[in-house]
Amino acid sequence: MAGSESEVVINETQVSYIGQNCKEIPEFLGRKYGHLAKRLDLSFNLLSSSDHSVLNFSRSLEGLKEFSSLEELILDNNLLGNDLLLPKLPHLHTLTLNKNQITELESLLDHLAEVLPSLEYLSLLGNQACPNELVSMDKDEDDYQRYRYFVLYKLPNLKFLDTRKVTRREHEEALEKGAFMKVVKPIDDMESSVSHNISHGIHYTPLPSGSQDLTTHKGVLRKGRYVYYGKHSEGNRFIRDDQL
């Protein structure tokens, strides 16, 4: 493991261990500073979530169990993915996971709701699961707003998401339709899943070719849950059967 105790920066209750290429939280960090730290910055390391300990934490984050009074945790620019697991941190109100490797949200958000009951500020910018121009030029404001509704549906106590304060209107919209705004996996993950099914003899019937044309999809698929009207519209609008 790279880095040493001399690389730790302490400022009262703030502990920073940045850019040390560590793959897990050093044992000395929790032993020496876990009792006093309210803010912990572990940005620009090599922390990942691919390996889980017997305690059901991500092994690289297992050291967080020593930081029981933690209120703010910065994990930007690491290698954390969808299966990120944290110990229960009852006082944590701020978590930033910017520029990691998160590609889907549902299981992660369910986990955060369980182990971070005081969470009010969450930032996921720079992950594929956060659809904006930081990760893909073909995403627009409507894509990002639907993502916000889904996150707020899962974490209704949030006051800030990414760089924006959560509005009362957003909370209302999230309650009404956030469950339908789930962000799908990137296309390469979907293709991988299809290849897996084919290799295991699982057959499927693709959608008719006409469904690939957005101007004709209603005639092909008959009914849809919502209609998307484009970049400058209200986004997804739920419609009744008699409007189809």
Q: What is the DSSP string of 25-50?
A: --HHHHHHHTTT-SEEE--SS--B-S
Whether 230 has a pLDDT exceeding 60, the answer reads: no
Residue 201 in domain:
no
Report, in angstroms and rounded to the nearest whole number, the Rg of the chain calculated over CA atoms.
Answer: 21
| Residues 174 and 236 both lie in one domain | no
Backbone angles phi, psi at 123, to 5 degrees: -130, 130
Residue 186 in domain:
no
Average pLDDT, the chain: 78
| Cβ contact 139:235 at 8 Å | no
CA torsion angle 206 233 128 125 (round to 10): -170
- Cβ-based neighbour number of residue 88 at 10 Å: 13
Which has the higher per-residue pLDDT, 68 or 219?
68
Whether 241 has a pLDDT exceeding 70, the answer reads: no
Encode pLDDT of 113-139 as tens digits.
999 999 999 999 999 999 976 666 667
Q: Among 9-13, 80-84, 179-183, name the one with the lowest average pLDDT.
A: 179-183
| Residues 9 and 67 both lie in one domain | yes
Residue 231 in domain:
yes
| Cβ contact 124:154 at 8 Å | no
Residue 215: predicted pLDDT: 42
Residue 140: predicted pLDDT: 76
Tell me which residue of 161, 167, 134, 135 sits closest to 148, measured CA to CA.
161
> 177 falls in which pLDDT band (50, 70, 90)?
confident
| Residues 225 and 107 both lie in one domain | no
Residue 125 in domain:
yes
| Residues 82 and 120 both lie in one domain | yes
Residue 134: predicted pLDDT: 65
Residue 161 in domain:
yes
Domain range for 242: 206-244
| Residues 219 and 140 both lie in one domain | no
> How many domains does the structure of the chain reveal?
2
CA 229 centroid distance within chain:
26
> 19 falls in which pLDDT band (50, 70, 90)?
very high
| Residues 33 and 135 both lie in one domain | yes
Query: Domain holding 115: CATH number?
Result: 3.80.10.10
Percent of the chain with pLDDT over 90: 59
Q: 3-class DSSP state for residue 216?
A: coil
Residue 169 in domain:
yes
Tell me which residue of 32, 24, 30, 33 sits closest to 3, measured CA to CA.
24
Residue 6: predicted pLDDT: 81
Residue 199 in domain:
no
Residue 51: predicted pLDDT: 60
| Residues 161 and 226 both lie in one domain | no
Residue 95: predicted pLDDT: 98
| Residues 157 and 216 both lie in one domain | no
Residue 149 in domain:
yes
Residue 170: predicted pLDDT: 95
Tell me which residue of 82, 133, 88 sits closest to 114, measured CA to CA.
88
Average pLDDT estimate for 64-81 = 97
- Cβ-based neighbour number of residue 45 at 10 Å: 24
Q: Where are the alpha helices (DSSP H) in the chain?
A: 27-33, 106-115, 141-154, 168-177, 187-199, 217-221
**Single pTM value for the model:** 0.71
| Residues 176 and 217 both lie in one domain | no
| Residues 173 and 214 both lie in one domain | no
Residue 88: predicted pLDDT: 96
Encode pLDDT of 20-66 as tens digits.
999 999 999 999 999 999 999 999 999 998 665 445 556 789 999 99
Q: 3-class DSSP state for residue 62?
A: helix
| Residues 23 and 144 both lie in one domain | yes
Which has the higher per-residue pLDDT, 187 or 33?
33
| Residues 84 and 128 both lie in one domain | yes
